[in-house]
Amino acid sequence: MNTEARKQADFYYLLLGGLFISALITCNLIANRFIEVGLGFKTFIISAGVLPYPITFLITDILSEIYGRKKTNRVILVGFAASFFVLGILKSSMYFNAVGFSPVSDLDFEQMFGNSWRVVMASMLAYLTAQLVDVRLFHFWKDLTKKKHLWLRNNASTVFSQLVDTTLVVLVLFLGVRSNDEIFVLIVDGWLFKVLCAFIDTPFLYAATYLFRRKFKLSFGDELSY
């Protein structure tokens, strides 16, 4: 790979990493709000943080397919560190009182971010486990199918890792707080919604990896090596 191609590869790597971290932090900031999402055949009860979360798995699949497992795990670990950095900022800002003309009062801020530590801890425990599982399974299927069937490694890895993610985050947040039946519903709804999103994002994965292969003259299933 020549110098110009390397610079372009680094740029897209940083861009995807930035989008990944942005989506991840957004998930944590809005995770306290639970919503209903009606899709005609079913109404899902999910955390609002679930909405941008499938983007993170799409990005890690793109990174895994093009940049390989090692570089993908780097982005995952940086996202983990960035989330704790944001948590630290939120916690430190609570030590200062809002002024009288502040649009957001202390009470509003406390209600919104007061239990962010628990949400972020739950999300981070689930996130780190599920993302690393996702990347490992993605490459397991890639090796098993000899770099064929991108749709299979995309969906097979995500379906299992999303179950791990959803189960962990719901249990940490609600075990002992909600009934077992409510917890089961939240796990099933969250997981099914994420699985549906994984199926929907498959064409986007094919499109993105096609553009990367065309840009860097890669054969199907090959990764950038530099």
State whether residue 25 is helix, strand or coil: helix
CA 21 to CA 76: how far, in whole Å? Answer: 8
Return all residues near 84 (Cβ < 8 A) that are at least 6 apart.
120, 124
| Sign of the C-alpha dihedral computed for residues 167, 168, 171 and 173 taken in this order | negative
Domain 3-216 top-level CATH class: mainly alpha
- For residue range 7-55, list pLDDT tens digits in order: 999 999 999 999 999 998 888 778 778 888 888 788 888 888 788 878 8
Residue of 27, 206, 30, 19 lying closest to 130 (CA atoms):
27
| CA dihedral sign of residues 52, 54, 55, 59 | positive
Question: Which residue has tokens 């397991």?
Answer: 140
pLDDT digits 0-9 by tens, 140-170: 888 888 888 888 887 778 788 888 888 887 8
pTM beyond 0.85: the answer is: no
CA distance 21 to 160: 22
